[in-house]
Protein backbone atom coordinates (compact mmCIF):
# COMPACT_ATOMS: atom_id res chain seq x y z
CA UNK A 1 0.00 0.00 0.00
CA UNK A 2 1.00 3.62 -0.54
CA UNK A 3 -0.17 6.80 1.16
CA UNK A 4 -0.47 10.29 -0.20
CA UNK A 5 0.55 12.80 2.47
CA UNK A 6 -0.99 16.16 1.67
CA UNK A 7 -0.29 19.58 3.18
CA UNK A 8 -2.49 22.55 2.31
CA UNK A 9 -2.95 26.18 3.27
CA UNK A 10 -6.57 27.01 4.08
CA UNK A 11 -7.50 30.63 3.44
CA UNK A 12 -11.20 30.35 4.38
CA UNK A 13 -12.19 27.40 6.55
CA UNK A 14 -15.97 27.25 6.10
CA UNK A 15 -16.03 27.06 2.27
CA UNK A 16 -13.03 24.73 2.38
CA UNK A 17 -14.81 22.39 4.81
CA UNK A 18 -17.99 22.42 2.72
CA UNK A 19 -16.01 21.57 -0.42
CA UNK A 20 -14.13 18.85 1.45
CA UNK A 21 -17.35 17.18 2.59
CA UNK A 22 -19.36 17.64 -0.61
CA UNK A 23 -16.74 17.24 -3.34
CA UNK A 24 -13.32 16.08 -2.22
CA UNK A 25 -14.13 13.15 0.08
CA UNK A 26 -16.75 11.61 -2.26
CA UNK A 27 -14.37 11.96 -5.22
CA UNK A 28 -11.38 10.48 -3.38
CA UNK A 29 -13.30 7.57 -1.84
CA UNK A 30 -14.46 6.53 -5.32
CA UNK A 31 -10.92 6.61 -6.73
CA UNK A 32 -9.42 3.31 -7.91
CA UNK A 33 -7.51 1.56 -5.14
CA UNK A 34 -8.79 3.79 -2.32
CA UNK A 35 -8.31 2.18 1.11
CA UNK A 36 -8.77 4.93 3.70
CA UNK A 37 -8.36 8.63 4.33
CA UNK A 38 -7.99 11.07 7.20
CA UNK A 39 -8.41 14.83 6.84
CA UNK A 40 -7.28 16.89 9.83
CA UNK A 41 -8.64 20.24 10.96
CA UNK A 42 -6.29 23.09 10.07
CA UNK A 43 -4.05 24.66 12.66
CA UNK A 44 -2.74 28.16 11.95
CA UNK A 45 -4.18 27.83 8.44
CA UNK A 46 -2.33 24.59 7.67
CA UNK A 47 -4.31 21.43 6.92
CA UNK A 48 -3.04 17.90 6.55
CA UNK A 49 -4.42 14.65 5.22
CA UNK A 50 -3.28 11.11 4.59
CA UNK A 51 -5.01 9.02 1.94
CA UNK A 52 -4.05 5.36 1.51
CA UNK A 53 -4.27 3.45 -1.76
CA UNK A 54 -3.69 -0.19 -2.72
CA UNK A 55 -0.84 0.64 -5.09
CA UNK A 56 1.73 3.30 -5.83
CA UNK A 57 0.13 3.78 -9.25
CA UNK A 58 -3.25 4.54 -7.65
CA UNK A 59 -1.59 7.03 -5.30
CA UNK A 60 0.26 8.65 -8.21
CA UNK A 61 -3.02 9.12 -10.11
CA UNK A 62 -4.44 10.98 -7.13
CA UNK A 63 -1.42 13.28 -6.88
CA UNK A 64 -1.56 14.04 -10.61
CA UNK A 65 -5.27 14.85 -10.29
CA UNK A 66 -4.65 17.15 -7.33
CA UNK A 67 -2.01 19.10 -9.20
CA UNK A 68 -3.99 19.32 -12.43
CA UNK A 69 -7.38 20.22 -10.91
CA UNK A 70 -7.33 22.45 -7.84
CA UNK A 71 -10.56 21.73 -5.98
CA UNK A 72 -11.22 24.96 -4.10
CA UNK A 73 -9.84 28.50 -4.35
CA UNK A 74 -9.97 28.67 -0.53
CA UNK A 75 -7.30 25.95 -0.35
CA UNK A 76 -3.75 25.95 -1.76
CA UNK A 77 -1.89 22.68 -2.24
CA UNK A 78 1.52 23.04 -0.57
CA UNK A 79 2.77 19.45 -0.86
CA UNK A 80 1.59 16.04 -1.97
CA UNK A 81 4.05 13.24 -1.33
CA UNK A 82 3.71 9.50 -1.84
CA UNK A 83 5.05 7.22 0.87
CA UNK A 84 5.03 3.44 1.18
CA UNK A 85 2.91 2.18 4.06
CA UNK A 86 5.06 -0.12 6.17
CA UNK A 87 2.63 -0.72 9.06
CA UNK A 88 -1.08 -0.12 9.41
CA UNK A 89 -3.45 -0.76 12.31
Please give the pLDDT value at position 39.
96
CATH of range 2-84; options 3.40.630.30, 3.30.70.100, 3.30.70.260, 3.30.1330.10: 3.30.70.100
**Distance (Å) of CA 41 to CA 4, 8, 18:** 17, 11, 13
**The model's pTM:** 0.91
| Cα 88-21-37 angle, rounded to 5 deg | 10
Other residues' Cβ atoms within 10 Å of the Cβ of residue 50: 15
Over the stretch 17-69, which tens digit does the pLDDT of each residue have? 999 999 899 999 999 999 999 999 999 999 999 999 999 999 999 999 888 88
pLDDT of 2 reads 98
Amino acid sequence: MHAVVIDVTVQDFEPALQSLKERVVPMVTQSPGFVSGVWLAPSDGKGHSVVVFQSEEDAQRMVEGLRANPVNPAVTLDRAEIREVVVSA
